Amino acid sequence: MRSDKRKRQEYIIKSVDTHKNLILEAERWLWFHPQTGYTEWEAHEYLRKHFEAWGYSLTLSGNIPGFYTDIDTKRPGPKVCIMAELDALELPKHPQAQKGVIHACGHHAQGAALLGVAAALKEPGALDGLCGSIRLMAVPAEEVIQLAFREELRRKGVIRYTEGKVEYLSRGYFDDVDMAVMVHGHMNSEEDAFDFVGNAGNNGCIAKEIIYRGKAAHAGGAPHEGVNAQYAAMLGLQACNDLRETFQEKDAIRFHPVMQGANCAVNIIPEELRIESYVRGKNLEAMKRENRKINRALTGGALAMGAGVEICDRPGCAPEYHDAEFLKLIEQCCIDLSGREKVNFDYNKWIASSSDFGDITCVMPGVQFYVAGASGTVHGVDYCVTNPERVCLNAAKALLFVVLELLSEEGMKAKKILEQYEPLYPSIQAYLEAINEVILDKNAVIYDENGNAKIDYM
């Protein structure tokens, strides 16, 4: 039995290596065609053409980038979804940025690896002995950025959610999926000694757009006729900073506002100041609780200056909890591929960043694990893929090892994971209803004719 498995794994390695050129070409092409969430049409088209050339028939998400395809073994069993993210980041100072956009989170390598998986699964005998089915999915908009643009898409009815994976959940693309897995590039450079790392999970986040509104006036001649939106914003953020000591360690709360610029000349009292931020945390209840305090503090800044403040809260990502049983299976696959000393899975490690893969782990067993091969700071100007073979080939092989492990022997191991999994929400619908409660649109300070104010930030 063991030697049979080893033979299958060796065949997977060979199958992926056969398509090495295709995978590495895709990595370079996608690196030089970065686009931000919900605009990733170039990556979408590139991958679509390659998938179709391999004979896959795709379900396109249509009005937004992304697609999926199902590979059916024709034998009953679980459906495993493998995902790759399409989107890049705005980081104009990165030396290789294309029109200010760059894959500084390494998502392009996921697309290349997914293509490798798709190609390897077309090799003769690739599905022998497997049951169930495999869904390969290219998904848009993981990074929670450009909140105003996404809000506009939402208002136009193009999307329902800021984030791609929860948007896909709401579109029913996961209705018949049993479990999900994806590989991301390493999140920090100290872990480079390992080919693969794994952890317990990541924070979730609420996405916030905050617009302070004042009144423009001559900054020298008549400042008394204006209301300074920038000062109101500064006061609001100062109050938020003073609240930080009330955040509790157990909740891993993060609040990191970025002012989007006053957009006015230096001799004008700023009329409007827009801020984007998240409130991150380890569970939805803690995020909601601390977010209410932050909204109160933001409101206070506006009130102090006689300004207004519009607060828009949207579901960002759910906290991501990796299923421990599934994590163990993946760790063993990584060890089989790279050897014990090249794999470091820490079952207690919590990361304070967020991913919308968390939305998936709320409703089905899921694991996101990490692969080495890039250097520099993730989301930083020095980020680059230094060893594309290490990232993309290892990722594709590990994912195929995982599929083999889950879907061979009548899907015994997948079924075991599914039996012990306790979802945080009983259904996708119940989950969507819970996050919809986060949605908030408030003009938090309203003045009457006497200048007295009514506040409402809840």
* Binding string, residues 48-87; x marks residues near Zn ion by CB under 5 A: ----------------------------------------
Stretch that binds Zn ion, among 102-110, 189-197, 234-242, 264-272 (CB under 5 A): 102-110
Task: Take residue 230 and report the two structure tokens written for it.
Answer: 């920038």
CB atoms within 10 A of CB 175: 9
Contact region for Zn ion (CB under 5 A) — 43-51, 72-80, 101-109, 144-152?
101-109
- What the block records as the tokens of 407 is 């879907």
Residue 263 DSSP SS3: coil
Asked if 97 and 31 touch (Cβ cutoff 8 Å), the reply is: no
Q: How far is the CB of 237 from Zn ion (least distance, A)?
A: 23
Complex with Zn ion: residue 90 or 310, whichever CB lies closer: 90
Q: Which region, judged by CB under 5 A, interacts with Zn ion, from 62-70, 104-112, 115-123, 216-224?
A: 104-112
- Per-position x/- string for 383-422, each x denoting binding to Zn ion as judged by CB under 5 A, each - no binding: ----------------------------------------
- 107/282 with CB nearer Zn ion: 107
Radius of gyration of the chain (CA): 24
- Min CB(184)–Zn ion separation in Å: 5
Query: Who's near 347: CB < 8 A, 6+ residues apart?
Result: 199, 200, 324, 327
Residue 145 as a binder of Zn ion (CB under 5 A): the answer is no
CA distances from 37 to 25, 40, 43, 90, 139 (A): 23, 6, 11, 10, 10
DSSP string, 311-345: EEEEEEE--EE--HHHHHHHHHHHHHHH-GGGEEE
Q: How many CB atoms lie within 10 A of CB 250?
A: 10
- Taking CB atoms, the residue at the shortest distance from Zn ion is 105
If the CB atoms of residues 16 and 105 are measured against Zn ion, the closer one turns out to be: 105
Please, which residue, 231 or 383, has the CB nearer to Zn ion?
A: 383
Q: Find the shortest distance in angstroms from Cβ 320 to Zn ion.
A: 12
Assess contact for 297 and 236: CB atoms under 8 A. Answer: yes
| CB closer to Zn ion out of 105 and 113 | 105
Whole-number minimum distance, CB 358 to Zn ion, in Å?
12
Please, what is the minimum distance in Å from the beta carbon of residue 387 to Zn ion?
18
DSSP secondary structure code for residue 187 in this structure: S
CB of 106 to Zn ion, least distance (A): 7
30 makes contact with Zn ion (CB under 5 A): no
Residue placing its CB nearer to Zn ion in the complex, 299 or 354: 354
Q: Between 82 and 414, whose beta carbon lies closer to Zn ion?
A: 82
CB of 251 to Zn ion, least distance (A): 22
- Spatial separation of the C-alpha atoms in residues 108 and 85, rounded to whole Å: 7
- Contact between 211 and Zn ion (CB under 5 A)? no
Integer Cα distance of 245 and 74 in angstroms: 57
108 or 390, CB closer to Zn ion? 108
Tokens of 356: 């919308």
Cβ proximity to Zn ion, 94 vs 213, nearer residue: 94
Minimum CB separation from Zn ion for residue 224, in Å? 45
Nearer to Zn ion, 159 or 187 (CB): 187
Which of 30, 227 has the CB closer to Zn ion? 30
The percent of the chain in helix, strand and coil, each rounded to the nearest 5, is 40, 25, 35
Check: CB of residue 417 under 8 Å from CB of residue 365: yes
Strand, helix or coil for residue 308: strand
Member of 71, 80, 105, 119 binding Zn ion (CB under 5 A) = 105
Stretch that binds Zn ion, among 103-111, 202-210, 386-394, 406-414 (CB under 5 A): 103-111
- What is the C-alpha to C-alpha distance for residues 374 and 102, in angstroms, rounded to an integer? 14
Q: How far is the CB of 379 from Zn ion (least distance, A)?
A: 6
Q: Supply the DSSP string of 23-68, one letter for each residue.
A: HHHHHHHHHTS---TT--HHHHHHHHHHHHHTT---EE-SSSS-EE
151 contacts: CB under 8 Å, gap ≥ 6: 162, 209, 312, 314
Would you say 402 and 367 are in contact if contact means Cβ atoms under 8 Å apart? Answer: no
Interface segment toward Zn ion; rule CB under 5 A; list 29-37, 98-106, 174-182, 278-286: 98-106
Residue 137 Cβ, how far from Zn ion at the closest point, in Å? 16
| For Zn ion, the closer CB: 205 or 398 | 205
Q: Give the shortest CB-182-to-Zn ion separation in angstroms.
A: 10
* Beta carbons of 14 and 108 less than 8 angstroms apart: no
Sole window of 65-73, 105-113, 284-292, 412-420 interacting with Zn ion (rule: CB under 5 A):
105-113
Binding site for Zn ion (CB under 5 A): 105
